[in-house]
Amino acid sequence: MPHAEKKEMVETATRLGQEYIKKHYNADFVVKDYQFIDPYIDSTVYLHGYIKGYEDIDISVAYNYKRKEINDVSGPDWFIDSRKP
């Protein structure tokens, strides 16, 4: 996958991931790193970061770049349990 294409996917994933966290958890997600899964296996990029004010707590957002949607959010139970419907 070309670098420019990956960069665009990460930018889209970051924007949508931050919007998703804001909407469902009322929190600000900061991306520190990302990881692409081999496209032969899955169409997912994982965003790794934290919530502002909780810099020492890891949060991950799984984004499906083919469907352009958030698949999953992972982190500590207290954060995941705070999800708004």
Residue 30 and residue 50 in contact, taking contact as beta carbons nearer than 8 Å: yes
Number of structural domains found in the chain: 1
* 12 part of a folded domain: yes
> Which residues form the domain of 30?
3-80
Residue 26 placed within a domain: yes
Which pLDDT belongs to residue 3?
Answer: 86
Q: Give me the pLDDT at residue 18, please.
A: 98
Residue 44 forms part of a structural domain: yes
Within a domain: 18: yes
Question: Can you give the pTM of this predicted structure?
Answer: 0.91
Tell me whether residue 67 is in a domain.
yes
**20 located within any domain:** yes
pLDDT at 40: 86
What sections of the chain are H helices per DSSP?
3-25, 77-80
Element (H, E) at 31: strand 29-36
Q: What is the pLDDT of residues 16-67, one digit of tens each?
A: 999 999 999 999 999 999 999 988 899 999 999 999 999 999 999 999 999 9
60 in any annotated domain: yes
- Please check whether residue 85 lies inside any domain of the structure: no
